[in-house]
Amino acid sequence: MTDSPNYGFDTLQIHAGAKPDPATGARQTPIYQTTAYVFRDADHAAALFNLQEVGFIYSRLTNPTVAVLQERIATLEGGVGAVCCSSGHAAQIMALFPLMGPGKNIIASTRLYGGTVTQFSQTIKRFGWSCKFVDFDDVDAVKAAVDDDTRAIFGEAIANPGGYIMDVRAIADVADAAGVPLIIDNTTATPYLCRPIELGATLVVHSTTKYLTGNGTVTGGCIVDSGKFDWSANDKFPSLSQPEPAYHGLNFHETFGGLAFTFHGIAIGLRDLGMTMNPQAAHYTLMGTETLSLRMERHVENAQKIATWLENDDRVDYVTYAGLESSPYFERAKSVCPKGAGGLFTFAVKGGYDACVKLVNALEIFSHVANLGDTRSLIIHSASTTHRQLSPEQQEAAGAGANVVRVSIGTEDAADLIADLDQALAKATA
């Protein structure tokens, strides 16, 4: 397909980045199951290693199947380039890597995927990095948290476990004023529901494991660059704006302009951290992206029906879904994610911990798993699983109290899902 920003999302999700295979004419993108690529001659090899010519060297860095996925996700997000990697958590480290150094910090929302909280509060300390967690609804507190060592602000558009919608534009303004990039984890919203770059984000990260692949087959991640950030505006980002010793003194911003972050991610991030996406995973995720809008529409439609049904049921205390008028984020959702508030939400069951455990055990269609964004409906009782190690107060603060379950609504028949919840709630609260 020739580049045409005028094509609609439904067309781009199938065609962006892909063209018939030049060697065979294969219509579907082949899985280039190879580690290395033959150089035309010694000059060609030297030009590739000098980044004077773009091409394939070794699959830790680049692979043609992965490259198609990178271009596709970049296009769907409205970015200039993207780097795929082995998981969503790898994408977060890869996004921070060129920005950070010992003693530097990031500011992150208090409402994040649990694994991200652990990565940011514990693991990044090993690199000498740190994270300040702030309530992103308090924009002044975010501003106040910025200091001379802050190098990025990080949040989720639709926050896992759901129900919270971030005011992306307001936080982007804080990041702009501070001269640091805003990184948005767009995993639970997907580019179909939310376009963080249009709302002012610099970088978008994904766990492609979830909705982009869509059926729970492979783990993967992606970092999309808006190409809009001026890395040379201040001296905070020497890896991008000054000679980079890890690539014999190359100045990435001067050499690659808007693609500086993407080239750095491949030439140094993947080269040295090695968190590479394999071509099989890229294949499954390419299959997933082809139906992204169709699935997201159904996820949202089903979530809306089921959340409404639950909210009106006597056995349920409350439902937190930004698609419901009762949600404090109902109005904000209309501007941040105009096509719907996603497929994730939590609800509280009368009867507390025991009732939740019985509910999870009694469900037949819903699977009890620690995952989301599958075509299948999924449920988890956080207090007895992912948030087990936390105190009751901490569980409450994380929206994972003993009486709360999180659901990831699939694309099955909504009536079947409601019937399943109905019979399981009857057993749970008998």
From the list 316, 312, 297, the residue with the least C-alpha distance to 359 is 316
CB of 25 to ligand PLP, least distance (A): 34
CB of 207 to ligand PLP, least distance (A): 3
CB of 93 to ligand PLP, least distance (A): 10
Question: Residues 6 or more apart from 48 whose CB is under 8 A from it?
Answer: 39, 54, 55, 57
Query: Would you say 212 or 259 has its CB closer to ligand PLP?
Result: 212
The DSSP result for 160-211, as a single string, is TTTTEE--HHHHHHHHHHHT--EEEE-TTTHHHH--TTTTT-SEEEEETTTT
CB of 204 to ligand PLP, least distance (A): 12
Query: Would you say 89 or 236 has its CB closer to ligand PLP?
Result: 89
Query: Would you say 186 or 239 has its CB closer to ligand PLP?
Result: 186
Cα–Cα distance for residue pair 281/259, rounded to 1 Å:
24
Which residue lies nearest ligand PLP, judged by its C-beta? 88
Peptide bond connecting 328 to the previous residue in cis, omega within 30 degrees of 0: no
Cα–Cα distance for residue pair 23/42, rounded to 1 Å:
23
Query: Would you say 295 or 315 has its CB closer to ligand PLP?
Result: 295
Q: What is the DSSP letter of 159?
A: E
Query: Would you say 250 or 400 has its CB closer to ligand PLP?
Result: 400
CB of 112 to ligand PLP, least distance (A): 7
DSSP 3-state of 40:
coil
CB of 127 to ligand PLP, least distance (A): 18
Query: Would you say 209 or 241 has its CB closer to ligand PLP?
Result: 209
Query: Would you say 115 or 216 has its CB closer to ligand PLP?
Result: 115
From the list 163, 158, 156, 157, the residue with the least C-alpha distance to 345 is 163
From the list 31, 188, 185, the residue with the least C-alpha distance to 94 is 185
CB of 40 to ligand PLP, least distance (A): 37
Tokens encoding 425: 């709630």
**Contact yes or no for 399/346 (Cβ under 8 A):** yes
Residues forming the site for ligand PLP (CB under 6 A) = 87-89, 113, 115-116, 156, 160, 185, 187-188, 207, 209-210, 219, 221, 372
Q: What are phi and psi of 174, to 5 degrees?
A: -65, -45
**Contact yes or no for 174/144 (Cβ under 8 A):** no
**Contact yes or no for 313/322 (Cβ under 8 A):** no
CB of 115 to ligand PLP, least distance (A): 5
Cα–Cα distance for residue pair 394/177, rounded to 1 Å:
33
Tokens encoding 189: 């919203």
DSSP 3-state of 330:
helix
CB of 371 to ligand PLP, least distance (A): 8
Query: Would you say 189 or 267 has its CB closer to ligand PLP?
Result: 189
Query: Would you say 72 or 406 has its CB closer to ligand PLP?
Result: 406
Query: Would you say 150 or 187 has its CB closer to ligand PLP?
Result: 187
CB of 208 to ligand PLP, least distance (A): 7
Query: Would you say 120 or 347 has its CB closer to ligand PLP?
Result: 120
CB of 354 to ligand PLP, least distance (A): 28
Classify the C-alpha dihedral 159-194-373-303 as positive or negative.
positive
**Contact yes or no for 161/399 (Cβ under 8 A):** yes
Question: Which residue's entry shows tokens 């008998």?
Answer: 430
Peptide bond connecting 161 to the previous residue in cis, omega within 30 degrees of 0: yes
Residues in the chain: 430
